Amino acid sequence: MIITLDFKSETPIYMQLRNAVVVAIGKGDLKDGEKLPTIRQLAEELGINAMTVNKAYAILKNEEFITIDRRHGATVTRPEGGRGEYREKLEQELTLVISEASLKGVGRKEFLDTCADIFAELAAGQRPIAE
């Protein structure tokens, strides 16, 4: 798993790691059922403390993006519940992002096209690549 951390960022490391895993699943770099590295392995690989990785894993587990079994480590899963709460959070988040975008000169069409492009990019990663 290729994860790059920005130690100068104001985003905490554990949150960067959590975000990177979510995007990796979204992009298909991590498939459903696939195992993630153990906490200690990933900590060593990234050069950070194990408890920082643990915090990221705990969040992902709570969000149902992964399940954690002792000895088997963490496994990618499809979240089941909590769609209603998520929709509310999503709309608030999008209202902020779209307000910013509008003011920065990114109009409706450009924004929607960008979203569509990203969806296409993510969908491409979910399919096996034709060879």
Q: Of residues 26, 58, 68, 75, which one binds a second copy by CB under 8 A?
A: 26
Residue placing its CB nearer to DNA in the complex, 9 or 102: 9
131 makes contact, choosing from a second copy, DNA, none, with CB < 5 to 8 Å by partner type, with none
Please, what is the minimum distance in Å from the beta carbon of residue 51 to DNA? 4
DSSP assignments along the chain, one per residue:
------TTSSS-HHHHHHHHHHHHHHHTSS-TTPBPPPHHHHHHHHTS-HHHHHHHHHHHHHTTSEEEETTTEEEE----S-HHHHHHHHHHHHHHHHHHHHHTT--HHHHHHHHHHHHHHHHHHHSPPP-
Residue 50 touches DNA, criterion: CB under 7 A: yes
| Pairing of the two strands 73-76 and 66-69 | antiparallel
Please, what is the minimum distance in Å from the beta carbon of residue 44 to DNA? 10
Residue 1 touches DNA, criterion: CB under 7 A: no
What x/- string results for residues 88 through 127 when contact with a second copy is judged by CB under 8 A?
--xx-xxxxxxxxxxxxxx-x--xx-xxx-xx--xx----
- The total number of residues shown for the chain amounts to 131
Q: Which residues bind a second copy (CB under 8 A)?
A: 19, 22-23, 25-27, 65, 78-79, 82-83, 86-87, 90-91, 93-106, 108, 111-112, 114-116, 118-119, 122-123
